[in-house]
């Protein structure tokens, strides 16, 4: 995860949503945040995003479908490809975590760098 923004390691709303996802899927989810201001070193961004940029160069974005088509065609010489889904849901702002989540939070923090490394274990 990126170290800032809405999925920041400091935000409880992200942890609460993560726990809900783990519960719904019945899967343990491990999170390892990049420290703040270091996500630019994310290797997948450096390996893949230049190809996305190249696929979109010189094209006028006249519709969401145009952008989806361009990005869908992106691939690397190593075989990395994209799957594009357009989300039509409106992003909610100002959301708050449940009042008691901080006290009953079932998130398990690692012993090494617990602020940035933790697990959401499914609850019944």
Q: What is the pLDDT of residues 21-51, one digit of tens each?
A: 999 999 999 998 877 777 677 777 777 888 8
pLDDT tier at 117, thresholds 50, 70, 90? very high
pLDDT digits (tens, 9 = 90+) for 54-65: 889 999 999 999
More confident residue, 62 or 12: 62
**Phi, psi dihedral angles at 120 (to 5 degrees):** -105, 115
- Percent of the chain beyond pLDDT 70? 90
Looking at the predicted structure, is the pLDDT value of residue 5 above 80?
no
| Token couple for 75 | 């691939």
Per-residue burial over 49-58, b if 16 or more Cβ lie within 10 Å, else e, is eebeeebeee
Predicted TM-score (pTM) of the model is 0.64
Q: What pLDDT is attached to residue 77?
A: 84
Q: What pLDDT is attached to residue 80?
A: 82
User: Rounded mean pLDDT of 103-119?
Assistant: 91
Question: What distances in angstroms separate CA 82 from CA 19, 41, 42, 64, 68, one per listed residue?
Answer: 27, 20, 17, 16, 10
CB < 8 Å & 24+ apart, contacts of 41-47: 42/2, 47/76, 47/80
Looking at the predicted structure, is the pLDDT value of residue 7 above 60?
no
User: Rounded mean pLDDT of 11-15?
Assistant: 85
């Amino acid at each position: 995860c990126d170290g800032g923004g809405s999925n920041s390691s400091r935000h409880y709303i992200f942890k609460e949503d993560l726990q809900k996802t783990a519960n719904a899927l019945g899967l343990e989810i491990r999170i390892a945040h990049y420290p703040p201001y270091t996500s630019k070193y994310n290797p997948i961004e450096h390996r893949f995003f230049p190809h996305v940029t190249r696929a979109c160069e010189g094209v006028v974005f006249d519709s969401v479908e145009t952008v989806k088509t361009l990005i869908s065609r992106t691939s690397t010489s190593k075989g990395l490809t994209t799957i594009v889904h357009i989300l039509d849901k409106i992003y909610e702002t100002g959301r708050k975590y449940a009042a008691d989540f901080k006290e009953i939070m079932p998130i398990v923090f690692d012993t090494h760098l617990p602020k940035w490394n933790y697990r959401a274990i499914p609850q019944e």
